[in-house]
Homo-oligomer: A and B are copies of this chain.
Amino acid sequence: MSLSNILKFFQPKDKIFYTLFEQVTETLTEMGTIFHQALHETDFAKREELLKKLEDLEHKNDETTHTIFIELGRNFITPFDREDIHYLATSLDDIADYIWGAAKRIVNYNMVDIDESTKGFSVIIKKSITELHKCIGELRGMKKIRSITESCIKINSYENEGDDLLDSSMVQLFNAEKDPIVVIKKKDLYQMLEIVTDKCEDAANVIESIIVKYA
Contact = CB atoms under 8 A, between A and B. Distances in A.
A154 interface: no
Given A73-B209, A209-B70, A180 B184 contact: yes
A4 interface: no
Contact of A69 (B178, B183, B188, B209): B209
A88 to B, nearest CB: 14
This chain's copy number in the assembly: 3
A208 to B, nearest CB: 8
Interface string A46-89: 00000000000000000000000110111000000011001000
A166 to B, nearest CB: 9
Interface residues of A, number: 31
21 contacts: A69-B205, A69-B208, A69-B209, A70-B209, A72-B209, A73-B209, A73-B210, A74-B212, A74-B213, A83-B83, A83-B86, A109-B170, A110-B174, A174-B181, A174-B185, A178-B181, A180-B180, A180-B184, A181-B183, A184-B187, A187-B188
